[in-house]
Amino acid sequence: MTGRFRVAGVQYDMRPVASFEAFAAQCAHHVAAAAEWSAEACLFPEFLTTQLLSIPRADGRPADIGDLDTHTEAYRALFSDLAARHRMTIVAGTHVHRRDGALRNAAHVFLPDGRLETQEKLHLTPTEVAPWGIAPGEALRILDLPFARAAVLICYDVEFPELARQARARGADILFVPSCTDDRQGFHRVRHCCHARAIEDQVFVATTHTVGNLPVEWMRANVGNAAAITPCDVHFPPGGIQAQGEMNLEQIVVAEFDLGSLHRARAAGSVRTWQDRRGDLYPLAE
């Protein structure tokens, strides 16, 4: 693939909602806005559906992370319909659900032809391990999307260069990085690693974060923005930022990536960080 494609990153406001319908309306608004900008893909942040934990329970008990699985069917139906209606690929953040008896934090990628692809988070933060009791995924998937080959590295996953190297070795041209961070240090860890992965592997990176405040344990503060990140070479902006949003505001960031420029940079850029790897000194990703 050598064409251009547009990606919309949603800086999603984690405000309380009274019902699943309110959550659906907020999501549908952002997808419709992305469609108005002719985006081929729309990226939502990690832990998108934790917003549903703010819905008051009939028994008065505070909702916990395991309750999200009760919304799995409705969540999948919502984004499947939005992807088909707008003829768009939607990386619908992540949703915590049960698989094989264990909770999993999984990105859901809805394609306009009705396909659903999932990528479970492979590296878990301390909060995900305890108190939430989430289990890690077992494999990295490469996704054949209508506009490019891609991989989804969920937040902490992008902090492990071996994983992105594996994605590039298997043909990925873009990494989607849905994230959720509760302080500026966490935000910058993810952002700096996104830049490093783009430079090391000569790939595009699309990332976005949750913003706002949610009265749910471990989700009370959200810090970040969305960005479209490129390698740092003459074919791209000097700082490797195609576009980015304002910090901590609900908005959509739209950017256009050019696969032709990416392939030219790989073949004849100022540096060739992929071809110049030293397999005689360290193992190469395959």
* Phi, then psi, of 84 in degrees rounded to 5: -70, -40
Contact 103, 50 (CB under 8 A): no
Catalytic residue (one of 27, 42, 128, 155): 155
Catalytic residue (one of 117, 121, 128, 194): 121
- The yes-or-no answer on residue 27 being catalytic is no
Whole-angstrom distance, CA of residue 79 vs CA of residue 68: 16
Angle of CA points 187, 192, 195, to nearest 5°: 130
Whole-angstrom distance, CA of residue 138 vs CA of residue 274: 26
Residue type, 92: A
- The yes-or-no answer on residue 159 being catalytic is no
Contact 257, 4 (CB under 8 A): yes
Helix/strand/coil for 138 = coil
Per DSSP, 238 falls in state: T
Q: Name the token pair of 29.
A: 């608004």
- The yes-or-no answer on residue 155 being catalytic is yes
Beta-carbon contacts of residue 280 (< 8 Å; ≥ 6 apart): none
Catalytic residue (one of 46, 117, 128, 159): 46
Residues listed for the chain? 286
Torsion angle defined by CA atoms of residues 11, 43, 65 and 103, in that order, rounded to the nearest 10 degrees: -160
Q: Name the token pair of 261.
A: 């420029």
Residue type, 269: G
Catalytic residue annotation = 46, 121, 155
